[in-house]
Chains A and B, each alone.
Chain A
Amino acid sequence: MATRAPDRMAAVPPKRPVRPRRRLHRHLAYQLDVKGSPYAYVAPFFLLFSAFGLFPLAYTAWVSLHEWTLLSDEQTFIGLDNFRTLLADDYFWNATFNTLSIGVLSTAPQLLLAIWLAHLLNRPLRAQTFFRITLLLPNVTSVVAVVVIFSQLFGRDFGMINWVLSLFGVEGVAWNEGVLTSHAAISTMIMWRWTGYNALIFLAAMQAVPRELYEAATIDGANGLTQLRKITIPMIKPTIIFVVITSTIGAMQVLAEPLLFGSYSITGGADRQYQTLSLFIYENFTKLDFGFASAISWMMFLFIVLVAGVNYLFTRRGKGGLT
């Protein structure tokens, strides 16, 4: 780094009074404090982020350009070969399809349900805190516990859901065998965990909507549903965008649910019927095929950016707001 040493050398003749210098120093110190301190405050995060976020990201990109397995000491550079193999791989596209399918099946109903729940709670109720905490409970439950319980519910022989269905004459659905049935089961688990959480975020946003708007609407004769559609949703649009994006990212990264639902089957079922992208990466990591797994990781990263971007544009373009 360049220092200011030459300046100091130049200031050899000590004739001049020292004061303006000192003032200059103080001024510089002040400037440094004002301009520099904020960076110092955020530095710990960015240092950690660089070490544990940015560096791995870049390093994964580097690894993805190699034939790289853990037990051999040599890693040969193969350029984009891993990506070429990946794009021609049926299993990759199968995992992509599964991820999108589970993503849509879980996110769309979940957000609608969350808005509806928040709307219901956004009115004077007794024991409000109780209801709000109850909403959050599924989210604080460990994902492992949730999946284990739901796997029992979705069991073929002794599952409760099949028992209920049998009352209607539907017998022995093997939930984990079919594509649609397994996606539905996994989506149910995701919805169970995240609907309440998102409802709370929506609720917080709804409470910031001015009461007068609703009063005016009531006077104009708008009913509850119209108020929800015409006032609430446009007013909380920034929150909706936020939730849509975070849910999308979450849905793209689903790993624990399919892994545990398949009793630790890293292929996501015998026919890969519910192997998500994360699980596909995981499969290749456990095979210690790091180059290939890194290539999938990067493709998944690009997908998430892409899907989140599309969703952002989509939700932003939606009906204009009041503001």
Chain B
Amino acid sequence: MRKLRHRFLVPMVAVSALALGLTACGSGGGAPASSGAASQPAEKIKLTVGLFSDFHYAPLYEEFKKTHPNVEIVERRAQFNDHHTNLITQLTTGAGAADVVAIEGGYIGSFTPVPDKFYNLKDYGLGKRESEYLPWKWKLGVSNDGTSLIGIGTDVGGLAMCYRPDLFKKAGLPADRDEVSALWPTWDAYIETGKKFVAAKVEGAKFTDGAGEHFRAMVEQAPVGFYDAQYNIVAGTNPEVRKAYDMGIKMIDSGLSANLLAFSPPWNTGIAKGTFATMVCPAWKTGTIKDQKPGEGTWDIAAVPGGGGNQGGTHLALPKQGKHPKEAAELIDLLTNKESQIKLFTEASALPSLPELYDDPAVKDYVNPYFGNAPIGKIFTDAAKALQPQPAGPKAGDVLQAFNNGLQRVDQGKQNAEEAWAQVLKDVSRIK
């Protein structure tokens, strides 16, 4: 999940929007009998596709139109957070949602509890594609009650560890990516490496940016994270979460953390200036790094400790409000099929969610020159393959925020580990 929260609206605006919208709750659209059998080519229809950035779908739309000359496709884009909160509003008020909507991994858990707001994709023949998908990716799109398939996966955000070879050399550590990956099969080994880095006293550099992203990666590697299989919040009692938290505290106590909040301006500067040597790196974060212009080859990519991981990645879903579910389902089938996913990987670096493609030369042999010719295709897909499914709850983002704040309070020296933990649990208990 991208963490940027660009959205800030004056509360009153939110209130009025809410007030205006909530008149028509509950009437979920009620499927206006779509003109049934063998689609008449004469009937012109329009499909809207709601996305939160450029997914590079334009050539695929053209392809779709070859078989569906009567369909016109209009793409709407909104800013990331706006897109998802708008969607929630549109579903609640029963109007305004696009025929096809993108839902990102950080938000999908908010929609799986309400399958009645979406068409069941199994009714449109998409259920048979389950075998093609990464199991955890497929499961994210299934409703909480297990009856309905609300979303079908597009890309995934495989996890790696980005590091700076120059700082590693200064600290007397190996700088080659395979040797670096071998340094930390586990998070414990990662911390031990960090301690060596600290002992080498590299001027002006810490071992890593902060503990929050590491904590998140550790939690997501566990079989159960913040939510149990019945979608109850178990963050406070799950020993895996406590283990990840203690690991984060250990990183802080060992002096590994530069105490920088990911995506804050000083963090951005730190990427360019090298104030920290490693950071947890989903596939899309390579773009973030590049934006700070640290220079070619400054950052390199190694495997993530603990084996596998994912952050982000998207599903496509069909809100019940749409009038042409059949055509829309055919469209998302095309957008997510093997040929399309390969094209999107080469054109938009969107990591495929179909493991069969990971052995495709286009993915396997892809290297990124900006990161010292790192075999990005292989590193990130290995991570995505190794991940096990985990129940994603509706408020996982809020829970994570509470833990991040707790770790930061310790990092800033405001609280000790136990005080921070107690406050985190209090914050989590407030999340409904």
Shortest Cβ distance from residue A50 to the other chain B in the assembled complex, whole angstroms: 11
A93 at the interface (CB under 8 A from B): no
- Knowing A255-B10, A264-B4 are in contact, say whether A152-B412 is a contact too (CB < 8 A): no
Contact partner, A271, options B89, B266, B394, B414, Cβ 8 Å: B414
Chain B 111-155: CB-based contact to A (< 8 A → 1; otherwise 0): 001100000000000000000000000000000000000000000
Shortest Cβ distance from residue B124 to the other chain A in the assembled complex, whole angstroms: 24
Instruction: Kindly list chain A residues whose C-beta atoms are within 8 Å of the C-beta of B113.
Output: 71
Cβ < 8 Å to B, chain A residues 278-323: 278, 281-282, 285-290, 293-294, 297
Are A71 and B88 within 8 A (Cβ)? Answer: yes
Chain A 49-83: CB-based contact to B (< 8 A → 1; otherwise 0): 00010011001100100000111010000000000
A266 at the interface (CB under 8 A from B): yes
A256 at the interface (CB under 8 A from B): yes
Cβ < 8 Å to A, chain B residues 265-309: 265-267, 269-270, 273, 275
Are A263 and B15 within 8 A (Cβ)? Answer: no
- The chain B residue sitting closest to A290, CB to CB, is B18
**What's the interface size class on A, roughly?**
35 or more
User: With A and B bound together, what is the CA distance between A271 and B409 in angstroms?
Assistant: 6
B186 at the interface (CB under 8 A from A): no
Instruction: Kindly list chain A residues whose C-beta atoms are within 8 Å of the C-beta of B10.
Output: 253, 255, 278
A267 at the interface (CB under 8 A from B): yes
Instruction: Kindly list chain B residues whose C-beta atoms are within 8 Å of the C-beta of A148.
Output: 265
Are A71 and B89 within 8 A (Cβ)? Answer: no
- The chain A residue sitting closest to B113, CB to CB, is A71
Shortest Cβ distance from residue A312 to the other chain B in the assembled complex, whole angstroms: 22
- The chain A residue sitting closest to B25, CB to CB, is A73
Are A287 and B269 within 8 A (Cβ)? Answer: no
Going nearest first, the 8 A-B pairs with the smallest beta carbon separation are A264-B5, A270-B408, A263-B264, A56-B16, A59-B19, A270-B405, A281-B11, A177-B412
Instruction: Kindly list chain B residues whose C-beta atoms are within 8 Å of the C-beta of A267.
Output: 401, 405
A71-B110, A148-B265 provided; 13 other pairs, C-beta below 8 A? A55-B19, A70-B88, A71-B88, A156-B266, A157-B273, A255-B10, A255-B11, A263-B263, A264-B5, A278-B11, A282-B9, A294-B15, A297-B15
Shortest Cβ distance from residue A244 to the other chain B in the assembled complex, whole angstroms: 22
Shortest Cβ distance from residue B225 to the other chain A in the assembled complex, whole angstroms: 19
Instruction: Kindly list chain B residues whose C-beta atoms are within 8 Å of the C-beta of A259.
Output: 8
- Give the B-binding residues of A (Cβ under 8 A): 52, 55-56, 59-60, 63, 69-71, 73, 148, 151-152, 155-159, 174, 177, 253, 255-256, 259-260, 262-267, 270-271, 278, 281-282, 285-290, 293-294, 297
User: With A and B bound together, what is the CA distance between A297 and B275 in angstroms?
Assistant: 41
Shortest Cβ distance from residue B183 to the other chain A in the assembled complex, whole angstroms: 26
- Knowing A52-B16, A264-B5 are in contact, say whether A270-B265 is a contact too (CB < 8 A): no
Instruction: Kindly list chain A residues whose C-beta atoms are within 8 Å of the C-beta of B11.
Output: 255, 278, 281-282, 285, 293, 297
Are B261 and A263 within 8 A (Cβ)? Answer: yes
User: With A and B bound together, what is the CA distance between A56 and B15 in angstroms?
Assistant: 6
**Interface CB pairs A-B, < 8 A, 16:** A55-B19, A60-B15, A63-B15, A70-B18, A71-B88, A71-B91, A71-B92, A71-B394, A73-B25, A255-B11, A263-B261, A264-B263, A278-B11, A282-B8, A285-B14, A287-B431
User: With A and B bound together, what is the CA distance between A281 and B15 in angstroms?
Assistant: 11
Chain B 84-96: CB-based contact to A (< 8 A → 1; otherwise 0): 0100110110000
Instruction: Kindly list chain A residues whose C-beta atoms are within 8 Å of the C-beta of B6.
Output: 264
Contact partner, B8, options A177, A256, A263, Cβ 8 Å: A256
Are B16 and A287 within 8 A (Cβ)? Answer: no
Instruction: Kindly list chain B residues whose C-beta atoms are within 8 Å of the C-beta of A263.
Output: 261, 263-265, 267
- Give the A-binding residues of B (Cβ under 8 A): 3-6, 8-12, 14-16, 18-19, 25-26, 85, 88-89, 91-92, 110, 113-114, 259, 261, 263-267, 269-270, 273, 275, 394-395, 398, 401, 404-406, 408-409, 412, 414-415, 431-432
Instruction: Kindly list chain A residues whose C-beta atoms are within 8 Å of the C-beta of B269.
Output: 155, 157-158
- The chain B residue sitting closest to A270, CB to CB, is B408
User: With A and B bound together, what is the CA distance between A151 and B268 in angstroms?
Assistant: 12
User: With A and B bound together, what is the CA distance between A133 and B113 in angstroms?
Assistant: 55
Are A69 and B432 within 8 A (Cβ)? Answer: yes
Instruction: Kindly list chain B residues whose C-beta atoms are within 8 Å of the C-beta of A52.
Output: 16
Shortest Cβ distance from residue A61 to the other chain B in the assembled complex, whole angstroms: 10
Most chain-A Cβ atoms within 10 A of its Cβ — which of B263, B267, B408? B408
- The chain A residue sitting closest to B8, CB to CB, is A259
User: With A and B bound together, what is the CA distance between A281 and B18 in angstroms?
Assistant: 14
Are A289 and B25 within 8 A (Cβ)? Answer: no
Are A271 and B412 within 8 A (Cβ)? Answer: yes
- The chain A residue sitting closest to B19, CB to CB, is A59
Instruction: Kindly list chain B residues whose C-beta atoms are within 8 Å of the C-beta of A253.
Output: 10
Are B405 and A271 within 8 A (Cβ)? Answer: yes
Are A151 and B12 within 8 A (Cβ)? Answer: no
User: With A and B bound together, what is the CA distance between A55 and B17 in angstroms?
Assistant: 11
User: With A and B bound together, what is the CA distance between A234 and B139 in angstroms?
Assistant: 71
Are B19 and A155 within 8 A (Cβ)? Answer: no
Shortest Cβ distance from residue B92 to the other chain A in the assembled complex, whole angstroms: 5
